[in-house]
Amino acid sequence: MRPPYVTSELLNDFIDRAFQEDLGDGDHSTLASIPADAEKSAYLLMKESGVIAGMDLAPLIFHKLDPNMTIEPLVKDGEEVKKGNIILRLKGKVRAILSGERLLLNCMQRMSGIATKTAYLNTLIKGTSARLLDTRKTTPNMRMLEKWAVIIGGGVNHRYGLYDMVMLKDNHVDFAGGIEKAVHSTQEYLKAKGLKLKIEVETRNLDEVKQALDAGGVDRIMLDNMSNEDMRAAVELIAKRSETEASGGITEKTIRSVAETGVDYISVGALTHSIKSLDISLKAE
């Protein structure tokens, strides 16, 4: 279930940097109190129900500290787990278990919180044609894991960064002198650079939707902070000539009615920027 942007190289680099941040010149609490040859078992315990994410990280993290550690996953990413479930067992050097515990928990708790929220919002739009999107509103240096968690929860990734899709937002449009100028300038730029990137344009009202259509070559039109009535009108006006995306302050209370306007996508920044981590703990056996 790894998307293409989750590579072994990037995961290893992330873990190395995280250990440098956390361990520094040594986990002195553990080094001082635990003999180097001590080996024990431990397990991960769910203290809250939800959708699990980040199971693949356990061997990557612990094998950097103890290459011989035995790791037994008991569930898979994307599975619903219940409070009280044991989801993973491990056996190896106690020093490695203690030094890697917090990094694994920090990652898995946040990823599982995102996956759980994504899965829940998906249930609210079930039966419509809308698909749930994330945004770039991610934690710096954690984007790979956070967007991965959205996929695990059943959502869809929007562009990964500023380089893999063009999104002409309101500020781009205003600074460029209007939608038509922004789109045509972008098309000329992409042609000159030999880039084949999709173009999305943010619109704030039906007049701007018409401008985006008239500009031509727009792959997706974002309907930002529009009323449901205006979104329905926009979907009818666009008539599948571009994909449509609803955005702006969408919550679990409003997402169903937004989906029923007929939009193709609904982007929810809260999937990653204001999520509650799922409670998981590591226990010694």
Interval 38-78: pLDDT, tens: 999 999 999 999 999 999 999 999 999 999 999 999 999 99
Active-site residues, by number, are 102, 137, 169, 202, 224
Mean per-residue pLDDT, 96-114: 98
pLDDT of 40? 98
pLDDT of 110? 98
Q: Are 234 and 218 in contact (CB under 8 A)?
A: no
pLDDT at 14 over 90: yes
pLDDT of 148? 98
Interval 214-232: pLDDT, tens: 999 999 999 999 999 999 9
pLDDT of 228? 97
Q: Which amino acid is at 282?
A: L
pLDDT of 4? 95
Mean per-residue pLDDT, 169-198: 97
pLDDT of 115? 98
Interval 122-176: pLDDT, tens: 999 999 999 999 999 999 999 999 999 999 999 999 999 999 999 999 999 999 9
pLDDT of 128? 98
Q: What is the mean pLDDT of the chain?
A: 97
Task: Give Cα separations from 168 to 26, 183, 218, 221, 283 (angstroms).
Answer: 47, 8, 10, 10, 49
